[in-house]
Amino acid sequence: MTQREWWPSDYADEVMPPGRESPSAWIRGPRGDTYELAGADDDIEGAERDDDHPRIVRPGEVIDFVWCESLGTVEVTIFPDGAHRVHGVVPAHATHFWLAGDPESLAHDIPSFVRRYRETEDVPEPVRETVRLAQWSAEIPHVLIVTAAEGPQFMELTAAEAPETVQ
- The domain locations on the chain are 4-67+137-156, 70-135
- Residue 167 has what pLDDT? 43
Task: Locate all alpha helices (DSSP H) within 21-64, ordered by sequence.
Answer: none
Cα of 84 vs its chain's centroid, Å: 27
- pLDDT at 44 exceeding the cut of 80: no
Mean pLDDT of 122-130: 96
109 in Cβ contact with 98 (< 8 Å): no
Residue 50 pLDDT grade (very low, low, confident, very high; cuts 50, 70, 90): low
95 in Cβ contact with 68 (< 8 Å): no
Mean pLDDT of 37-58: 65
Residue type, 35: Y
- Residue 166 has what pLDDT? 44
Cα–Cα distance measured from residue 94 to residue 132, given in angstroms and rounded to the nearest whole number: 10
Cα–Cα distance measured from residue 27 to residue 39, given in angstroms and rounded to the nearest whole number: 10
DSSP assignment, residue 111? Answer: H
Region of residue 151 (left: phi > 0; alpha: psi -120 to 50; beta: else): left
